[in-house]
Structure 1
Amino acid sequence: MEALTHFFVGLHIVGIGALLGGFMTQMKAMGAGEARIVPAMLHGALTMLVTGIALVGLNEADGRTVDHIKIGVKLTLLVVILALVYVKRDEERLPAPVFGTIGLLTVANIFIAVMWV
């Protein structure tokens, strides 16, 4: 069970990397007002959602305590990120505040995961 949990943690980190990496590749374009959602951002957010749900299930099945408030906050942020990415994925240009919000929420989600004990 522990190996499976580590596998899903690794996939979760890959999803975070895809979402944040996709955002970072568009930072220069965001400054010029030409940022757009790249496919890696959508796939990364979906990977985070699926693996996050799997991790909660695996931890609860293994008898570990899960901080449901922390998971709820992270899930809420991720659902907002996913909604923004999904709805705006076909637009050629995104306003900088909308695109910046995606990056800000992604970084907030990472810091919540790491710092909320």
Structure 2
Amino acid sequence: MEYVYDLVLVLHFVGLASLLGGAMVQMSARDGRTINAAMVHGALTQLVTGVAMAGMGDAVGSLDIDVNHAKIGVKLAIALVVTVLCWVNRRKDTVAGALYATVFALTLANVVVAVFWG
């Protein structure tokens, strides 16, 4: 089961790379920023794999993972907001700078919570 958990963790990192990379590509856009497919798919991947990892960590005793439910709740709330913002605005030609900044900032905030919250 540890192999499956590690595989899901790798997919979680791939989702992060897609979401953050897609957002960084938009930084240099001169004719308006968009929510691109990489951001949408990255956000969805992050959400699904994050829930899967939390569930496995809580349910599978052999993994010996002590799940911090408060941390998971905060990360889930942030991930849901990012995913909804990306999903709702995925078809728009351009999005407001504040919306783009919010998605970018919340994505980075989720990374900070993951790293620094014990």
- Shorter-normalised TM-score: what interval? over 0.9
Once the two structures are superposed, residues 85-113 of structure 1 have per-residue CA deviations (whole angstroms, 9 ceiling, x without a partner) of 01111111111111010000000001111
- Using structure 2 for the length normalisation, give the TM-score: 0.93
5+ residue gaps, structure 2, are: none
Match of 2:50?
Answer: 52
2:86 aligned residue? 85
Query: What residue in structure 2 maps to residue 8 of structure 1?
Result: 8
Gaps of 5+ in 1: none
Determine if the alignment matches structure 1 residue 19 to structure 2 residue 19.
yes
* Stretches (4+) displaced over 4 A: none
User: Which of 62-71 and 106-115 deviates more?
Assistant: 62-71
Q: Which moved more, 1:60-69 or 1:102-111?
A: 60-69
Q: Pairwise CA RMSD of aligned residues?
A: 1.0
Cα deviation for residue 62 of structure 1 reads 2.2
In 2 relative to 1, CA 69–33 (structure 1 residues): closer, same or farther, beyond 3 Å?
Answer: farther
Write the letter of the residue equivalent to 2:117.
W
